[in-house]
Amino acid sequence: MENTKQTIWLDCDPALDDTFAIIYAPHDTHINLLGVSTSPGNTNLHNTTQNALDVLYNIGRQDVPVYAGSNLLLKGEMKLAEHMHGTNGLGGIKLPTSPKKRLPSKSSKRYIIR
């Protein structure tokens, strides 16, 4: 049986739950993680992007690019889940901060469907 890797792009709103996906994906021998993009949801876009950068930094995978998505909605109002995940998305846990900064979205016209 051939051991082929599945190439994936992880799009998430990193808080407590998605942190596990960010930790797991780059260490799985069957996954080739191309990058991570973030959106608001569990917390605001700034926090989700910083969480992705910080988690990757703390597991030694700063080579994985992180792109911030958009705060624009097609309809409705933004509803964050900070009541579940805390204001920083990590239940108040403060990770050592990545020196790397987020990469800008290729398009400022990207929208989130909620």
Q: How confident is the model over 12-60, as pLDDT tens digits?
A: 999 988 999 999 999 999 999 999 999 999 999 999 999 999 999 999 9
Residue 114 has pLDDT above 50, yes or no: no
Over range 101-112, report the average pLDDT: 54
The helix (run of H) or strand (run of E) holding residue 57 is: helix 45-58
Q: Please tell me the predicted confidence (pLDDT) of residue 53.
A: 95
Edge-first strand order for the sheet with 6-12 is 6-12, 31-38, 66-68
Q: Say which residue the tokens 């990058």 belong to.
A: 35
Residue 102 has pLDDT above 90, yes or no: no
Strand, helix or coil for residue 93: coil
